[in-house]
Amino acid sequence: MSSCKDFVIRKGVLKRYKGPGGEVTVPDSVNIIGDSAFLDCADLLSVTLPDGVTRIGKYAFSGCGDLQSINLPEGLTSIGEWAFEACGSLQKVNLPDTVTDIGDYAFSDCRSLADAEGFVTVGGVLYDYYGHSGDAAVPEGVRYIGGGAFYQCTELKSVTLPDTVTSIGYGAFQGCRNLQNVSLPEGLTGIGGWAFYGCGSLSAVTLPGGVTVIGGSTFQDCASLYSVKLPESVTSIGDSAFKGCRNLTRIDLPDTVENIGDSAFRGCRGLRNITVPRGVTAIEAWTFSGCRDLRSVNLPDGLTAIGDSAFLDCGGLENAALPNSVTAIGKSAFRGCGSLQSIALPEGISDIGDSAFSGCRGLADGNGFVIRKGTLYGYYGQDGNAVIPGDVTVIAGGAFSDCPGELCITVPESVRAVSDNAFSRAVLTIRIKNWFPGLNRAVKRCTVRAIFTDNPSLVPGTLRRASAIGFALEPEDDLTSETSLVQMSYLARNASKLCGQAFDIPEMLRFMCDHMLIKAKDFDIYESEAERRDEPELTALILNYQNKLGFDAIWSARERKEQRVWDYADRRAERAANREADGNISGLRFVTAGRLRDWRSRDKLRSHLELHGAKLGGKVTMNTDYLVTNDVTASSEKNRKALELGVPVIGEEEFNRMVGRFYPDAESVEIPAWVRTIPSDAFSRAVCLKSVTIPGSVTAIEDGAFVNCPGVTVRAPAGSFAEEYARNNGISFEAE
């Protein structure tokens, strides 16, 4: 028996049942079973409802797996969504004639309600199918195929629906990958979204005349579908309705269609021709993208917009006449339509998105440019020198993405905007009268060799070198002007860094030699590079420059450089001696070359060094104390520089011992007296560690320092911080 205390009732609505389950009788005062009232009452066996109950809310008995029986009283009019979902033990339902509304999935997953053929039907609704036959004939009298009724019935090969069926619910046949045939009755008027999603073996479908809407993703990923017949009654095709139907070669859209949703035919790569009905006013985003065999599209008068990526990667599209009514074309709308030979833009068009015609090689003019309405969408010229026409105002995204090798681009003053990815990852030389900020982002991912501009002061610092190289190749007539002096000063100050590029570009090297921009202190670098390249003309140029500088100047610079190297070597030796004396790495400067095995995070390495007063540098200089590398014999630039400056090159194992990071085979370790802090990763790999001697100087041990050393014994002075740490963390301790 149920107690009144088991029910939460407010104004005739049973809000929640809190009892122990079993056989439950709902009080007579209740006229509505509220949403989720008995949700997941696992021990509920039977329920008796009073005659006054008119409505059962959604999820009311959902998840009551042991519920075997329930009386539904006369006068009940409504059963909510998912009301008896997953009531697997429910054996019988007597549905009163007064019930006029049953929500979706109300009796889903009620296996015990299945008939001998495996069908679960209640009130003319088919909720589930548990049969194992490959050919299923839905019982007569069923009006509605409920949502998910045949969900992932992978054994199903064909389905026969009775004439009484008028509607198919959401995802009704979703995932029936072996379903080949389905007969749709003439009285069918509605097909829900995702109804046949993923039915990969379904080959042909004929929709009856009463269907008006094809829902979203209804036939998505029906890979074998090659034939679809739509009736004149269809007015709307939902988002992704036929997406991924790669074998669909033809579909005739009736004139009654007024709306085609996003991605409706996306990836229908076998589709060859399409005529868009006259009632459609917009091609939505991605509608025909990836239809690579599409040859022609007939667009209706009255069409006003073509959405983003609508025809993206339709590589076979040759003809797409735009009606005069079109006013907007979205970004990437025709991108990748390489076979498109011509497309006339209406006079009234006011909005064309970025990259709308990128990759449309067939639209290129005699010079290889694809230009529409003042926007440059692509360059397909054979010449590496692209002189952009003077009527271009915008350079669209991907305009030069198909250009192999190096490019020299001349940008006219008319250009006022450049998309961020206009040049992709090209190797560029840029000629432009007035540099403008929009170019900064556009070349961010490019390698810019040289910049020729009348206003180098507008070029950002990251491109300063390219601007100076451009000046060296085409200097101003007046080398005494402020701009010339600034550029020449930059070349002189950075001569050592520019050596490689100067030899790559002989005209630049000649300019620097002609105007004595290579100082005596940098001459050795140029002399070594000339010897390495072994090019007679450039070698002669450097030897001639040597005569201009004079041997005294060169030797004086060499002597000063050698003296500096010796001075820094003395300082390094002094710091090395101090470290040998007390093991302290404070004040040392380290540089790394290559990926270190035990220090994959540079930030972690920097933090570890800074903790002990050392520093991590980016490049080898005279002030570097050690170069740490995973290969001490490598001929990398850093290794060569270290050899030149006398900087010691050490391997990772030696470095780890130096900075207090220990290897797996370490069994006994004595921490140097200079150490103040033991970081958390100092012994992360020392799994064999048995004892560690910690001096009294240590005042901090980070959490987890010995987490990988379960059998370790800490030896330290009595009363020290190390003793306190060991005892607080359950680590064996021995006083020294």
Mean pLDDT in order along the chain per 10 residues (736 residues):
81 95 95 97 95 97 97 96 97 94 95 96 96 93 96 95 96 96 94 96 95 96 95 96 96 96 97 96 97 95 97 94 95 94 90 92 92 92 89 92 82 93 85 90 88 90 92 90 90 89 91 87 82 87 80 60 61 64 75 78 80 84 84 78 81 78 70 77 74 87 81 89 87 87
Give the residue numbers spanning the domain of 537. Answer: 406-549
Tell me: do 561 and 527 sit in the same domain. Answer: no
Of the candidates 660, 668, 652, the residue with the CA atom closest to the CA atom of residue 705: 660
Q: Is 459 within a domain?
A: yes
Q: Residue 721's CB: how many other CB atoms inside 10 A? A: 16
**Residue 705 and residue 575 share a domain:** no
Q: Is residue 12 part of a domain?
A: yes
Same domain, 61 and 77: yes
Instruction: Please check whether residue 692 lies inside any domain of the structure.
Output: yes
Report the interhelical angle of 551-582 vs 523-533 (nearest 10°): 100
- The residues, ordered by sequence, that sit 6+ positions from 64 with a Cβ below 8 Å of its Cβ are 38, 40, 41, 42, 44, 84, 86, 87
Do the Cβ atoms of 495 and 515 come closer than 8 Å? no
CATH of the domain at 645: 3.40.50.10190
Tell me which residue has tokens 């207090």: 660
Beta pairing, strands 78-79 & 691-693: unpaired
In this structure, the answer to whether residues 458 and 476 fall within a common structural domain is: yes
Number of domains in the chain: 4
Question: Do 623 and 710 reside in the same domain of the chain?
Answer: no
- Among 516, 549, 582, which residue terminates a domain? 549
Final residue before a domain boundary, out of 71, 94, 113: 113
Q: Identify whether residues 644 and 707 lie together within a single domain.
A: no
Q: Is the domain of 529 the same as that of 624? A: no
Please answer whether residues 625 and 575 qualify as being in contact, where contact means their C-beta atoms are separated by less than 8 angstroms: yes
Residue 392's pLDDT is 96
In this structure, the answer to whether residues 474 and 538 fall within a common structural domain is: yes
Q: How far apart are the first and last CA of the chain?
A: 76
Backbone angles phi, psi at 298, to 5 degrees: -100, 115
Question: Residue 168 is inside which H or E element, if any?
Answer: strand 167-168
Q: Is residue 173 part of a domain?
A: no
Taking the C-alpha atoms of residue 328 and residue 331, their distance in angstroms, rounded to an integer, is 10
- Residue by residue, DSSP assigns 516-568 as T-S-GGGHHHHHHHHHHHT-HHHHHHHHHHHHHH-HHHHHHHHHHHHHHHHHH
Closest CA to 310 of 294, 328, 330: 330
> Do residues 530 and 640 both lie within one domain?
no
Among 549, 566, 592, residue at a domain's last position: 549
Q: Does residue 330 sit within a domain?
A: no
> Hey, is 570 helix, strand or coil?
helix
Is 17 part of any domain? yes
β-partners of residue 56 are 33, 79
Q: Is residue 208 domain-resident?
A: no
Q: Which of 11, 45, 32 is CA-nearest to residue 76? A: 32
Residue 424 resides in a domain: yes
Q: Are residues 655 and 672 in the same domain?
A: no
Q: Are residues 632 and 653 in the same domain?
A: yes
Looking at the structure, do residues 411 and 545 belong to the same domain, yes or no? yes
